[in-house]
């Protein structure tokens, strides 16, 4: 029998989901249907949320689990009356913070993901466009502006990582695919040499690489275990030769790759 988890928020719901996913990941044995209720900012939307939770409690025959980041006191009290287990982030943490800081919290609704700082927003959008313009070695003349240049073989996760670094941290991340030509004489491409200190390498297990490539071009030389094995060996030899910091991305999510790059290199994020 499935449980239902609700993520209730007066904003996007992203904080409630992040908190909730983190908690639910500690209970893998229990299966949860997940429902996000964002923009709960009025008595009416709060009443609707409570009604939805109560109907689910009846349908499931079990209390839903409710992760709430609601800020408004009246709405939190209303939600507290629902037929679910309410885990109230505001109640848990704002009290101790108010005491510590000696100030009342603003109780402002929908704050977490609002644009507060147009300059920070501009950096973020600019970083996304930088990642797009400098994807896959398409251009190399803007590497002066790069915070990091990811190198690796085709389909090792460079592009999604660059986009995540841009969106999450406002970093200017370029990427450059290394190919057989580069491996032949074990050298770095000319365009990368002046920026050697910004290079970070992604490597991947040859088996996994072959599986990923096969989804795109089954039966091709490009996807063959032999080719993948050769490319990865040569890549790692290159990283060794030029002392390039690197990471095996095989079992890592985009978030893990991105945050490990920051931890390993000490690159400072441009957005908090």
Q: Which of residues 71-90 bind its own copies (CB under 8 A)?
A: 71, 85, 87, 89
Among 48-56, 73-81, 126-134, 183-191, the segment contacting its own copies (CB under 8 A): 126-134
Given 1, 29, 190, 197, the residue binding its own copies (CB under 8 A): 29
Contact 109, 41 (CB under 8 A): yes
Contact 187, 148 (CB under 8 A): no
Query: What are the CB-based long-range contacts (under 8 Å, 24+) for 78-87?
Result: 78/43, 78/46, 78/47, 78/50, 79/8, 79/46, 79/49, 79/50, 81/50, 82/49, 82/50, 82/53, 82/54, 82/57, 83/53, 83/54, 83/57, 83/58, 84/6, 84/53, 84/56, 84/57, 87/23
Among 13-21, 146-154, 193-201, 221-229, the segment contacting its own copies (CB under 8 A): 13-21
Is residue 49 a contact residue for its own copies (CB under 8 A)? no
Buried b (16+ CB within 10 A) or exposed e, 13-29: bebbbebbeeebeeeee
Least Å distance, CB 193 to its own copies, is: 27
Contact 109, 10 (CB under 8 A): yes
Among 145-153, 156-164, 171-179, 236-244, the segment contacting its own copies (CB under 8 A): 156-164
For its own copies, the binding residues in 244-263 under the rule CB under 8 A are 251-256, 258-260, 263
For its own copies, the binding residues in 169-208 under the rule CB under 8 A are none
Given 81, 106, 243, 268, the residue binding its own copies (CB under 8 A): 106
Given 122, 139, 145, 217, the residue binding its own copies (CB under 8 A): 122
Is residue 128 a contact residue for its own copies (CB under 8 A)? yes
Least Å distance, CB 255 to its own copies, is: 4
Given 215, 219, 243, 266, the residue binding its own copies (CB under 8 A): 215
Least Å distance, CB 229 to its own copies, is: 21
Least Å distance, CB 226 to its own copies, is: 23
In angstroms, the Cα distances linking 71 to 42, 88, 101, 106 are 11, 9, 18, 9
Is residue 39 a contact residue for its own copies (CB under 8 A)? yes
Given 44, 115, 190, 197, the residue binding its own copies (CB under 8 A): 115
Question: Which single residue is written with the structure tokens 């109780």?
Answer: 107
CA angle 3, 9, 10 (to 5 degrees): 155
Among 32-40, 138-146, 170-178, 231-239, the segment contacting its own copies (CB under 8 A): 32-40
Is residue 18 a contact residue for its own copies (CB under 8 A)? yes
Residues 6+ positions from 239 with CB-CB distance below 8 Å: 201, 203, 246
Alpha-carbon distance of 102 to 136, in angstroms, equals: 51
Q: Which is nearer to its own copies, 30 or 237 (CB)?
A: 30
């Amino acid at each position: 029998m499935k449980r239902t988890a609700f993520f209730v928020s007066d904003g996007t719901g992203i904080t409630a989901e992040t908190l909730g996913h983190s908690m639910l990941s500690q209970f893998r044995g229990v299966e949860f249907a997940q429902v996000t209720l964002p923009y709960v900012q009025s008595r009416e939307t709060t009443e609707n949320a409570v009604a939805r939770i109560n109907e689910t409690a009846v349908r499931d025959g079990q209390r839903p689990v409710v992760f709430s980041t609601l800020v408004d006191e009246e709405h939190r009290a209303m939600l507290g009356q629902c037929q679910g287990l309410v885990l109230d982030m505001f109640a848990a943490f704002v009290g101790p913070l108010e005491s510590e800081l000696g100030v009342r919290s603003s109780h402002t609704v929908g704050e977490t993901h609002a644009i507060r700082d147009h300059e920070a927003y501009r950096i973020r959008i600019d970083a996304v466009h930088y990642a797009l313009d400098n994807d896959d070695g398409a251009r190399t003349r803007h590497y002066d502006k790069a915070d990091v240049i990811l190198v690796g073989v085709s389909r090792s996760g460079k592009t999604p990582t660059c986009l995540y670094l841009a969106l999450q941290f406002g970093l200017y991340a370029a990427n450059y695919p290394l190919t057989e030509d580069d491996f032949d004489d074990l050298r770095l491409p000319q365009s990368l040499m002046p920026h050697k200190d910004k290079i970070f390498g992604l490597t991947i297990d040859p088996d996994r690489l072959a599986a990923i490539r096969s989804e795109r071009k089954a039966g091709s030389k490009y996807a063959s275990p032999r080719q993948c094995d050769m490319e990865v060996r040569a890549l790692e030899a290159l990283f060794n030769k030029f002392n390039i910091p690197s990471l095996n991305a095989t079992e890592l999510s985009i978030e893990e790759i991105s945050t490990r790059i920051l931890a390993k290199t000490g690159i400072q994020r441009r957005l908090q």
